[in-house]
Structure 1
Amino acid sequence: MYESEDEQPRLSPSTLAVLQEFLKERYEQNLLEHVSREDQIPNILFDENWQLSQFWYDDKTIEALVRGALNSTPANGKIALISCPTLYSKLKKDCGKRQITLFEYDNRFKIFGADFIQYDYNFPLNMPKYMFSQFDLVIADPPFLSVECLTKTAVTIRFLAKKNIVLCTGAIMTELAERLLDVKKCDFIPGHRNNLANEFCCFSNFDFDKTLE
């Protein structure tokens, strides 16, 4: 005698939620263990979360920004990435002895372990104080095209940067970016996997274009 489909055991919503959370934690733990092996840096690319205003760079842009970052920092230097997580995997693979630190709001990227610092631009100085003026290069891509977001992110950039700054943001923010960070527009134009309606630009306080040659 066979049980009907309606008589099959089913998990309650609360039990199912607990199971899903457990599986999620196991998945993240497995990824974290994978990342912890020095010879295995995964090229992880989560889906864009538009509610967080996430727009991932295209491969050409990643290659260019990573090349510029390596050419503008010493072999044992430190590089900070603010709100641009798609640069991490490629940069980490190619960085040699450089230290790469990702400051990011989206905690999916905590799988990068000790290289990940939870970051909320609304609290621009909520980070370890020993990181003051520790980074040879800071690359930042504020998530929102607003005066508030860029201003607060600029506070973080100024805190972390020892020397060089690269900022990727909308052209509409040009005047404010130049005033806050003493940067100038580069010839290099960042691109995205999904086209943006807003014109996008790259700014730096040094000759970043030369590092791309």
Structure 2
Amino acid sequence: MADDDDDVPTLSAETFAALQEFYAEQQKRQEILTKLEADNKLNENILLEENWQLSQFWYNEATVHSLVKVVDKVVSDGGRVALISCPTLFVPVKRQIGDRATVSLLEYDRRFEIHAPDFIFYDYNTPDRLPSEMHNSYDLVIADPPFLSEECITKTSQTIKLLSKDKIVICTGAVMEEHVKNLLGLKKCDFEPRHRNNLANEFVCYANFDLDEALR
């Protein structure tokens, strides 16, 4: 009887390595998701590491707490919240209002796909490439454009206009103030967002409602 072992297909070293990487990534995502589901409190230890190549700088705990308080106060039952390029807000906001409102995360970093189906891949370079059912459907949009450039704030503003039907908050550098005012008509707030790692640039919060009153 002939030996059929030679007919068994084998994976190349390159394909095998890619497969191992895929399964390792899947396992990592599942571990993170398990932690998120098991912990009912805001726990900074579960946050993914910042990717500086994507210009990621996470808020400190006090800033997260303040922004969650604003969301909780201004979003009514059955409302909808969109978080654009501020992924570390998603978990605490979802925990706070997820039982009474919809929370969507628009983000370029696919590590945050662990939050699917609430995760929507978002690239500010294609600001209009979003499902039509999302248009003008969000009661509150919070955005933190990743780059301090006119191009980035302009394209992110296009997305905000596309999504928003009411309240808007932008956290960005003070150098973007004129662009924020001209593009969206937002006003500077007294509240100042802070980051876990101190940044050289001054960061400011802008809104089209009295955000500071919501924090009192």
Residue among 70, 93, 96 paired with 1:94: 96
Pair 1:154 & 2:169 matched: no
Runs (5+) with no aligned partner, structure 2: 1-12
Kindly report which structure 2 residues correspond to 1:46-125, keeping only aligned pairs within 5 A, or say none.
46-95=48-97, 96-125=99-128
Residue-by-residue CA offset, 1:73-99 (whole Å, 9 max, x unaligned): 112210000000010111111103110
Instruction: Please tell me the residue identity of whatever aligns with 1:181.
Output: L
Runs (5+) with no aligned partner, structure 1: 1-11
Give me the TM-score of the superposition, normalised by structure 1: 0.88
Change (3 A) 1:50 1:177: same
Residue-by-residue CA offset, 1:129-183 (whole Å, 9 max, x unaligned): 1111100000000000000000000000001001000000000000110010110
Distance 1:190 1:33 in 2: 29
Kindly report which structure 2 residues correspond to 1:122-201, keeping only aligned pairs within 5 A, or say none.
122-201=125-204
CA contact (8 A) 1:190 1:201 kept: yes
How much does 1:113 deviate?
Answer: 1.1
How much does 1:70 deviate?
Answer: 1.1
Distance 1:100 1:120 in 2: 19
How much does 1:26 deviate?
Answer: 3.0
Distance 2:185 2:77 in 1: 26
Q: C-alpha root-mean-square deviation of aligned residues, in Å?
A: 2.2
How much does 1:28 deviate?
Answer: 2.1
How much does 1:188 deviate?
Answer: 0.1
Identity of aligned residues (%): 49
Distance 2:129 2:194 in 1: 30
Distance 2:42 2:63 in 1: 19
